[in-house]
Structure formats: structure tokens, C-alpha cells
């Protein structure tokens, strides 16, 4: 299977971002990719206003367009992550028109409802069906390089891991994760226990953390679980002044980097994924089989008792 990680740089205009993403998916498919992963928040990045202006419901026009694109190109498409209007309030989300975004028949949420958005990764199969939606579990509330990030101000946590079998190659099952999730190996272990043999990681890793942590963590997750990781990162400066570090990666189950993007420009990187490498890696290092949860779940002792 030929996989592609699409690296983009989200600007201030959601319609332009949409056009750039669709064009990149088409290019990847023209180059032979049958499995394409877009980055996190490729429609819009920033605070509550920016995310809200481009937010979608799952039955909305942009989601429908992405399904039609996957069907036309006959690909499995992981549509990065988008801002999802929680609870489906509105009759179609926000339509991207006339160079910007406007509400499409939105209705007010019930009084007292949590109106924060979900950060949601979508999987469309080659028949155009939306078969999985993963809502980011770990929100980026952190302080990096003098900048405070508080995703939880505008977004709310997802509640469950999600795996999804690929339509184009059913020997692969994707485990869906997003950006900051990379730092929580328990989630990745749950995905692999649930059957995943390729992890998709749409991201907007900061420039600083991309430089210091990104490749180390992506390769570590691949190595410790014997799985492919397709990690599509954003790059460059965004309208809110934040910067993403690029360097999108495709890594095999032995931790070898099969493809790497530049740090500073949009790019598509591609690699062939050989399903047999998963079995070879897990047979050589059967870490999952040798785990001792009976020990980890016990109270921590002082080590002095035999």
C-alpha cells in the first residue's frame, strides 16, 4: 500500500485552506497513493474565533465534499482533523463561500450545554463513506517557548480510542490519534490492542517541540508497538502567530524513517507500507505479549520484600 502524509500550512482563509488540502490530496492520488493523511486543523488553526468560523458538523457540506473526494479518487482518506461542532448544532455547520465562512442555518445550543468544539479526525473509505470519527482525547494545555496554549478553552476532550479498517486494503487497520496524543503511550497501546497496525497522526506540533521531540516520539511509538506511523504535520507561521515545525514522517514498525518532509514548506511525502513488516517486528520483539499488567497495576513497593 502506498501511503502519503500531506504537510500543509493553514492560513487565515478557511476556503483557501480547503482548496489547498483538496489539491494536495488529488496530487497524492495522482502519484499513486491509496492512503492519504492530512494534518491537524488544516481548515483553520488558532483560537476559538478562528476554529468556530470553520467548524463543521459531520453531515455538513465540507464533510460531504471530502467523502466525495475519497470516492472519486478511490482512496482511504484520513481528513486530518477538523473542528467539529459538538452535538451537531446547526443544519449543516459552516459553509465555506465567497472567500470566507458563514453560518448555514445554525441554531442555538440548549441552555447550559457545553458548546466547545471537538478536534476530530475523520476516515473516509474509497466508496466515500465516513466510517470513523475520532475526537482528540488529550488537549494541548501547555506552555512552550513563552507561549501559553489552552486548547481546552475552545475544545473538549474525546472519550474513546478509535480504530478503523481500511477499505482499500483490509489487511490494514488504522488507529486514529491526533498531535498531543503522541505523548501518551497508553492510548497507542489501546489502539494496537484494538487491532491497529498503522497509526495515523495528524498534527500541528509547535516549531520548538517538532525540533526537540517530534521524530523521537513518532519513532518510539512505532518501535514499542511494532506498527507503522503516518504522521502529517503542519509547517510555518499561522495567523495567530504560532508556528508549526513540519518534518512530517512515515515510519515503519522497526522505527525506520521511510519518508520525511522538509521543516519549512508544504510537501507530500510517500512510502510503501508492507503489512508483513508488522508481523516480523512483533515476532522479533513480542513486547505486547510479554507485558505484565498484573505487576503494573499493583501498588508500588519499596523492593525490599522478595
Residue 100's pLDDT is what? 32
Question: Does 44 or 96 have the greater pLDDT score?
Answer: 44
Taking residues 250-262, what's their average pLDDT?
Answer: 98
Highest mean pLDDT among 57-71, 75-89, 106-120: 57-71
The mean pLDDT value for 157-163 works out to 95
Catalytic sites, residue numbers: 40, 136, 179
What is the rounded distance in angstroms from the CA atom of residue 52 to the CA atom of residue 45? 10
Cβ(99)–Cβ(41) under 8 Å?
no
Q: Give the whole-angstrom CA distance, residue 204 versus residue 246.
A: 8
198 has which bridge partners?
174, 228
Starting at the earlier edge strand, list the strands of the sheet with 130-135: 130-135, 118-124, 76-84, 35-37, 2-7, 267-272
> Average pLDDT in the 280-304 region?
88
Span 212-248, pLDDT tens digits: 999 999 999 999 999 999 999 999 999 888 899 999 9
Specify the higher pLDDT residue, 114 or 95: 114
Section 73-95 average pLDDT:
72
By the 10 Å C-beta count (0-12 exposed, 13-18 middle, 19+ buried), 306 is classed as exposed
Residue 102 belongs to a domain: no
Residue 257 is predicted with a pLDDT of 98
The verdict on residue 301 lying in a domain is no
Q: Of the candidates 164, 166, 148, which has an alpha carbon nearest to the alpha carbon of residue 206?
A: 148
**For position 111, what pLDDT does the model report?**
59
* Cβ–Cβ under 8 Å, residues 249 and 6: no
Structural domain includes residue 14: yes
Domain holding 154, by residue range, is: 2-96+115-291
The answer to whether residue 96 scores a pLDDT higher than 70 is no
Report whether 230 contacts 218 (CB < 8 A): no
| CATH code: domain of residue 236 | 3.60.110.10
Residue 107, pLDDT > 50, answer: no
Residue 258 lies in a domain: yes
What pLDDT is attached to residue 185? 96
Average pLDDT over residues 83-103: 45
Q: Is residue 298 part of a domain?
A: no
The answer to whether position 106 is within a domain reads no
Residue 304, domain member (yes or no):
no
The arithmetic mean of pLDDT across residues 99-121, rounded, is 61
What is the rounded average pLDDT for all residues in the chain?
Answer: 89
DSSP state for residue 255 in the 8-state scheme: S
How many structural domains is the chain composed of? 1
Amino acid at each position: 500500500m502506498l501511503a502519503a502524509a500531506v504537510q500543509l500550512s493553514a492560513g487565515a482563509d478557511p476556503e483557501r485552506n480547503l482548496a489547498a488540502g483538496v489539491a494536495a490530496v488529488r496530487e497524492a492520488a495522482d502519484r499513486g497513493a491509496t492512503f492519504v493523511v492530512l494534518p491537524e486543523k488544516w481548515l483553520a488553526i488558532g483560537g476559538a474565533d478562528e476554529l468556530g468560523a470553520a467548524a463543521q458538523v459531520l453531515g455538513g457540506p465540507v464533510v460531504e465534499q471530502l467523502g466525495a473526494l475519497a470516492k472519486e479518487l478511490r482512496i482511504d482518506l484520513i481528513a486530518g482533523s477538523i473542528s467539529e461542532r459538538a452535538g451537531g448544532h446547526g443544519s449543516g455547520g459552516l459553509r465555506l463561500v465567497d472567500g470566507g465562512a458563514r453560518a448555514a442555518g445554525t441554531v442555538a445550543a440548549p441552555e447550559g450545554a457545553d458548546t466547545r468544539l471537538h478536534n476530530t479526525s475523520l476516515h473516509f473509505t474509497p466508496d466515500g463513506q465516513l466510517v470513523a470519527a475520532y475526537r482528540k482525547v488529550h488537549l494541548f494545555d501547555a506552555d512552550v517557548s513563552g507561549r501559553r496554549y489552552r486548547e481546552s478553552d475552545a475544545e473538549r476532550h474525546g472519550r474513546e480510542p478509535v480504530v478503523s479498517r481500511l477499505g482499500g486494503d483490509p489487511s490494514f487497520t488504522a488507529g486514529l490519534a491526533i498531535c498531543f496524543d503522541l505523548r501518551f503511550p497508553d492510548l497507542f497501546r489501546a489502539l494496537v490492542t484494538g487491532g491497529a497496525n498503522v497509526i495515523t497522526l495528524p498534527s500541528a506540533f509547535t516549531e520548538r517541540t517538532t525540533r526537540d521531540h517530534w521524530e523521537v516520539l513518532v519513532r518510539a511509538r512505532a518501535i514499542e508497538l511494532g506498527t507503522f506511523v503516518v504522521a502529517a504535520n503542519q509547517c510555518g507561521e499561522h495567523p495567530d502567530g504560532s508556528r508549526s515545525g513540519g518534518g512530517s514522517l512515515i515510519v515503519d514498525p522497526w522505527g525506520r524513517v521511510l519518508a520525511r518532509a522538509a521543516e519549512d514548506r508544504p510537501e507530500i511525502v510517500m512510502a510503501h507500507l508492507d503489512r508483513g513488516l508488522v508481523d516480523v517486528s512483533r515476532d522479533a520483539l513480542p513486547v505486547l505479549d510479554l507485558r505484565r499488567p498484573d505487576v503494573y497495576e499493583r501498588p508500588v513497593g519499596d523492593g525490599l520484600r522478595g
